[in-house]
Amino acid sequence: QRLSSQRLFSTFKSSDSQRVNRTFLCTFFGGSQGDIVAGDSFPTQRHSITDHRLFKKDAVGLKRHVSHEFFKILHFYRLHDHISPVRTIRDLLFSNYDKDVRPDHGVKPLDVEVDLYVESFANIAEANMEYTLFGYLRHYWTDKRFANKSKEVIQLKGSTIEHAWMPDTYISNSRQSNLRQKDSEAESTLFIHTDGSMFYSKGVKIVASCAMDLKDFPMDTQKCGLSLGSYGHSLADVNYKWRREKVVVEKKNIAQFDMTEAYLNRSVMIYISGNYTQLLVYFHFERRIGYYVNQVYIPDTLIVTISWIVFWLGQDDMGGRVGLGITTLLTIMFLLGSVNMSLPRVSYAKAIDWYLIVSFVFVFLVLFECIIVYVVRQRKRSREESGRDRSLDLEEGKRERARTEDSFYIEKLLKSDGFVNVEILSNTGELGIVSSRNNVDSFLPEKKNDIEMTDRTSQRGMMSCKNKRARLSVGDIIDRISRLLFPLAFISFNVSYWNHYLSK
């Protein structure tokens, strides 16, 4: 018996296959691993094969027993050397498993809980009305077909996950995402618990549409959301639920926005194929106005202020006035075009559009004022030139009439004062006194010009006052009113504008 047993193990030892696992030899012979010397494939004389049970059996029974145990060891040896651990787990988990059949099929609807962890947001693209989200989408459900198949949690990765049933979650408002990407190409993992509880996590990048209202741009707040649900399973098969009451957002600030609020919701959508659960998550983004204040509002205010310089320019400098007005108009038009270049072509005016349009109107009114002043100035000049020619013709007649009227007036005055003989010399228009009551004529002037000096001095004083009033022309009045009216109107507009939009 002893020799036959040794011959059997020697044959096994000398084969081309690898050495038998020492643990199973110890189990077969009833000893421990310490009883086998390193490098031996069967027990030595220290623990003889004739010990214990083998000597109690007869030769036939011993041969039958040894052969049976030998083939058991050989079968394990083949599995151990030619099958990888992954394949062993796959065979253990997915034997008699159909991944096309959902858990609890024909029993009850399957509850699938969803959790979203947002790592960060990319910048919101107003032109395309979309935003980008980076995060992790997690699913929780129970598949009793995996229950009691393992005594500890099993983690699967890569293509192995594709052998299990997975929820067919899709995002209805996504324009681009890796949610349906194969697990062998994506960052994903699946945990299978001993009771059949499943936890599936996948890193996602989602580009989703967002219906934006830009009427208050750039003082606006946008509400963007995600709509999740099952594509092929109705409410009678799969029931989607949020696992938590809120969404965790790691980085809330992006370039031009601050994420101020995120909340969850759940609804049921009715389609022709049935009722489907829909999970909704909404994000509120508040825009930072600093960029547009620096790039649009401050430059536009300065441009409007510069246009008021024309009120202090000379009225005859029409080229400088109009040139400055046209330059400011073109600058505001450039600002308006550059702002709307990065925005969608909506059919309504935005808040920044209203500001630029009103600024455009202010500059246009400045240019219009320049034209009015120029027209009034030209008309006044033409009247002055025509009046100057007419005055030259009437000047001589007025002088002759005044000379005659003054001579008769003085003659009458002298006679009333006692001068009896007063004559007007026809040649020179001078007054001469033939005789008087006192026979004295030395005090009376001989020429009319000496008498006119007193009256002309008083008339010059009155004319100087009239000329001072006449110097303030209509154009000057318009310029002076504009210097005060335009700044006050623009300041009032700014106060009402910012109070209206910032108070929302």
The secondary structure of 368-388 as a DSSP string is HHHHHHHHHHHHHHHHHHHHH
* Partner residues linked to 209 by β-bridges: 130
Which pLDDT value is given to residue 135? Answer: 96
For the ranges 61-65, 315-319, 388-392, the maximum mean pLDDT occurs at 315-319
Region label for 37, one of left (φ > 0), alpha (ψ between -120 and 50) or beta (otherwise): beta
The hierarchical CATH code for the domain 92-287 is: 2.70.170.10
- Tens of pLDDT, residue by residue over 331-374, are 999 999 999 998 999 999 999 999 999 999 999 999 999 999 98
**Mean pLDDT for all residues in the chain:** 77
Q: What is the mean pLDDT of residues 49-73?
A: 50
Say yes or no to pLDDT of 315 above 60: yes
A 10 A CB-CB count for 218 gives 22
φ, ψ for residue 202 (rounded to 5)?
A: -145, 135
Which pLDDT value is given to residue 255? Answer: 86
* Partner residues linked to 133 by β-bridges: 121, 206
Q: What's the rounded Cα separation, in Å, for the pair 439 and 433?
A: 10
Q: What's the rounded Cα separation, in Å, for the pair 355 and 389?
A: 52
Which pLDDT value is given to residue 435? Answer: 45
Mean pLDDT check: name the lowest of 18-32, 295-309, 403-417. Answer: 18-32
User: Looking at per-residue confidence, does 40 or 319 come out higher?
Assistant: 319
pLDDT band with cut points at 50, 70 and 90 for residue 382: confident
Q: What's the rounded Cα separation, in Å, for the pair 436 and 422?
A: 9
Q: What is the mean pLDDT of residues 412-438?
A: 49
Which pLDDT value is given to residue 31? Answer: 44
With 0-12 CB in 10 A as exposed, 13-18 as middle and 19+ as buried, what is 117? middle
pLDDT band with cut points at 50, 70 and 90 for residue 64: low
Domain boundaries, given as residue ranges, for the chain: 92-287, 291-385+484-503
**The dihedral formed by the CA atoms of 299, 303, 304 and 309, expressed in degrees to the nearest 10:** 150
For the ranges 20-29, 281-290, 386-395, 454-463, the maximum mean pLDDT occurs at 281-290
Q: What is the mean pLDDT of residues 199-221?
A: 95
Residue pointed to by tokens 């004295």: 440
Q: Which CATH class is domain 291-385+484-503?
A: mainly alpha
The DSSP letter of residue 440 is -
Say yes or no to pLDDT of 428 above 60: no
Which pLDDT value is given to residue 114? Answer: 97
The DSSP letter of residue 308 is G
Mean pLDDT check: name the lowest of 26-35, 147-156, 291-300, 380-389. Answer: 26-35
Q: What's the rounded Cα separation, in Å, for the pair 113 and 243?
A: 5
Q: What is the mean pLDDT of residues 412-425?
A: 52
Q: What percent of the chain stands above pLDDT 90?
A: 53
Distance of CA 369 to the CA centre of its chain: 39
Helices (H), 30-133: 59-82, 85-94
Say yes or no to pLDDT of 186 above 50: yes
Q: What's the rounded Cα separation, in Å, for the pair 79 and 249?
A: 48
pLDDT band with cut points at 50, 70 and 90 for residue 203: very high
- Tens of pLDDT, residue by residue over 292-313, are 999 999 999 999 999 999 999 8
Which pLDDT value is given to residue 100? Answer: 92
pLDDT band with cut points at 50, 70 and 90 for residue 268: very high
User: Which amino acid appears at position 70 of this protein?
Assistant: F
